[in-house]
Amino acid sequence: MSTTAAALAPAHQRYLLEARQMQALSFAVHIPLVCFGIAFPAMVLFVEWLYQRTGDEVYRTLARRWSKVMLALFAVGVITGTILSFEMGLLWPNFTGTFGGVFGLGFAIEGFSFFMEAIFIGIYVYGWDRLPGRLHFASGIPVVLAGLSGSLMVISVNAWMNHPSGFRLVGGHVADVHPLAALFGNAYLWHELVHMYLAGYIVTGFLVAGVYAAGRLRGRWGRYERAALAIPLTVAALAAPAQVLVGDWAARDVAHSQPVKLAAIEGLARTTRGASEHVLGWYTDGRVRYGIAIPKLLSLLAFHDPNATVQGLDTVSASQRPPVNVVRIAFQLMVAIGTLLALFGVLYLVVRVRRKRLPESVWFYRALVAAGPLSVVALIAGWVVTEVGRQPWVVYRVMLTSQAVTGAGGIPVGYATLALVYIGVAAAVAWVLRRLARVPLHAAGGD
């Protein structure tokens, strides 16, 4: 039965770029919501735990209000996640049709994570004051765990696309398929998972803290607001410096497994011994112009040896290179924002440790308002590096994106429709979050 599997064939698609953009749009909408799925439940649970320890009503109010936001964002995450699973077939039927048997399992397990998350988020949010305290707290724990297992599964598929193994390709069919080895026996998985998981805490932490920072700038600053700001900010401030180290690890893994992606990230045209690192600048005619070159730094960072040889874009033909400037600028943007956020986090930690209070400068709070959106930009930029940097491959060195795409017509129509719907959803989410924020504190206890 395994040898008779039918295969689809590549089809010509005029609107390949639009198909890729439609997919990218759907990811860009979904990924920030994923961050909240990863990190927000843990923060809400921590606040509830504080309430159970201290009996302080402030924490109870805070946990209840946050859990409403958590539920609204999770609902939107369910639908944007559903769209992504549709697009696996709508846009890339030949990818799914050929390799579904290899990678599909990861999504199937992720489906169960999603279930557990959905079930217990329902019990948790609707169970306030209806379930006994300890039981209610316990009902939130599966939500946190499902956030971790869900991201493990999705990232395992992405890591497989970047570093495929666990199968052979014989005449367009997969053979010798070992799905567990393909998904979880992949060394490329771990840096991606840790990088994304930390990003979840950074984005959620800075965005949530940023809301209360904006409130402070307008004079809303009581015990409630201070707690609501300090808790997520402390998480993000600790995770941001750690993320710098994890990012460095990720880049070294990329250097080993995907040298062409690294060459695009750095704008390195020719294979070079003792390669320099270029900061800023624009890649054109085989070199980075207007950039600042730091000699030997690239070799040192990528291989821990200032004289190591770094492969250039010239190791593959021009048709097998990703668009250099897109990847390079996205990478620099991510690194720049990530570094700033790490420094900002350290600043906050120093004030907290040495002065045992929150910072007072109005500029600190202005920066905090900006940190949330900036962290989202860094998040998206990081995914651009991973995904655009893998182009023109959908499965690295196995299947081209142009071979994966659907042969169906009407992609521009679908793309435009989806973009309009997402604009509507974004407006709706903004409206509902403002509404939830405006409910007076004393009324937030009930619903």
Partner 1 sequence: MMHLYDVPLAFALVGLVLYTVLAGADFGAGAWRLLAGRGGVGERIRDHAHHSMGPVWEANHVWLIFVLTVMWTAYPAAFGSIASTLSVPLLLAAIGIIVRGAAYALRTGAQTPRELRAIDGVSAISSIVTPFALGAAVGGIASRRVPVGNATGQLFSSWLNPTSGLIGGLAIATSAYLAAVYLAADAERIGERELAQAFRARALAAGIAAGAVALGGLAVLHADAHPLYRALIRGSALGALISSIVAGCLTLMLVWRRRFEAARYTAALAVAAIIAGWGLAQHPLLLPGLTVAQAAAPHDTLIAIVVVVIAGGALLFPSLGLLFGLLLSGRLDRDRAQAPSGPTGRALLAASAAGLLGRGAAVALVMGVGFLTIAEAPWAHIIGVVSLCAFIVLGFAALAPTDAGLPED
Applying the rule CB under 8 A, the residues between 55 and 94 that interact with partner 1 are 55-56, 58-60, 68, 71-76, 78-83, 85-86, 88-90, 93-94
Scanning residues 207 to 236, which ones bind partner 1 (CB under 8 A)? 221, 223-224, 226-227, 230-231, 234-235
Of the two residues 257 and 325, which places its CB atom closer to partner 1 in the complex? 257
Q: How far is the CB of 27 from partner 1 (least distance, A)?
A: 15
CB contact burial 103-122 (16+ within 10 A = b; e otherwise):
bebbbebbeebbebbbebbe
**282-284 and 287-289 beta bridge pairing:** antiparallel
Does residue 444 touch partner 1 according to CB under 8 A?
no
Binding characters for partner 1, 30-59, by CB under 8 A (x = yes)? ----------------x---xxxxxxx-xx
Cis bond before residue 392 (omega within 30° of 0) = yes
**Of the candidates 39, 34, 45, the residue with the CA atom closest to the CA atom of residue 205:** 39
Q: How far is the CB of 227 from partner 1 (least distance, A)?
A: 4
**How far is residue 61 CA from its own chain's centroid?**
29
Q: How far is the CB of 144 from partner 1 (least distance, A)?
A: 13
Of the two residues 85 and 325, which places its CB atom closer to partner 1 in the complex? 85
DSSP states of 43-101? HHHHHHHHHHHH--HHHHHHHHHHHHHHHHHHHHHHHHHHHHHHHHHHT-HHHHHHHHH
Q: How far is the CB of 166 from partner 1 (least distance, A)?
A: 9
Does residue 370 touch partner 1 according to CB under 8 A?
no
Does residue 419 touch partner 1 according to CB under 8 A?
no
Output phi, psi for 286, to 5 deg.
75, 15
Q: How many residues bind partner 1 (CB under 8 A)?
A: 134
Rounded Cα–Cα distance for residues 110 and 296 (Å): 42
Using the rule CB under 8 A, which residue among 220, 273, 289, 357 binds partner 1?
357
Of the two residues 173 and 270, which places its CB atom closer to partner 1 in the complex? 173
**For 419, how many CA atoms within 13 A lie in the half-sphere containing its CB?**
13
SS3 content of the chain, % helix, strand, coil (to 5): 70, 5, 20
Of the two residues 158 and 313, which places its CB atom closer to partner 1 in the complex? 158
Scanning residues 167 to 206, which ones bind partner 1 (CB under 8 A)? 174-180, 187, 190, 194, 201
